[in-house]
Amino acid sequence: MTFVQIVDYETSRPEAVNEVIDRYLAKTKGKRTVSHSVVGRDRESDTHFLDIVEFPSYEAAMKNSHLPETDTMFQEMMALCDGMPRFTNLDVVRDEHLNTLLANRMFEEVAVKGDMSVVDEIFAADYRDHDISRPEVKVGRDGIREDVQAWRSAFDFTFTRDAQTAQDDHVTTLWTWNGKHKGEFMGIAPTGKDCTMTGTTVFRCEDAMIKEGWWHYDAMRLMRELGAM
Q: Are residues 129 and 173 in the same domain?
A: yes
Q: Are residues 112 and 56 in the same domain?
A: no
Q: Are residues 110 and 207 in the same domain?
A: yes
Q: Are residues 123 and 187 in the same domain?
A: yes
Q: Are residues 102 and 83 in the same domain?
A: no
- Asked which of 91, 122, 138 is the last residue of a domain, the reply is 91
Non-local (6+) Cβ contacts of 189 within 8 A are none
pLDDT at 80: 96
Q: Tens digits of per-residue pLDDT, 120-172? A: 999 999 999 999 988 899 999 999 999 999 999 999 999 999 999 999 999 99
> Quick one: pLDDT band at residue 227, thresholds 50, 70, 90?
confident
Indicate the angle between helix axes 68-80 and 14-27, nearest 10 degrees. Answer: 170
Residues 39-65, mean pLDDT to the nearest whole number: 96
CATH number at residue 117: 3.10.450.50
Q: Are residues 221 and 160 in the same domain?
A: yes
Please determine, for residue 99, whether its predicted confidence score (pLDDT) is greater than 80.
Answer: yes
Domain count, the chain: 2
Q: Are residues 16 and 87 in the same domain?
A: yes
Q: Are residues 81 and 158 in the same domain?
A: no
One-letter amino acid at 66 equals: H
Q: Are residues 127 and 193 in the same domain?
A: yes
Q: Are residues 197 and 171 in the same domain?
A: yes
> Quick one: pLDDT band at residue 228, thresholds 50, 70, 90?
confident
pLDDT at 133: 87
CA angle, 41 as apex, 70 and 25 as ends, to 5°? 25
- Structural domain span for residue 34: 3-91
- Asked which of 46, 67, 91 is the last residue of a domain, the reply is 91
> Quick one: pLDDT band at residue 75, thresholds 50, 70, 90?
very high
Tell me which long-range contacts 66-73 makes (C-beta under 8 A, separation of at least 24).
67/28, 67/31, 67/32, 69/24, 69/27, 69/28, 69/31, 69/32, 70/24, 70/28, 70/32, 72/24, 73/20, 73/21, 73/23, 73/24
Residue 82 host element (H or E): none
Please determine, for residue 218, whether its predicted confidence score (pLDDT) is greater than 90.
Answer: yes
Distance in angstroms (rounded) separating the CA atoms of residues 63 and 74: 15
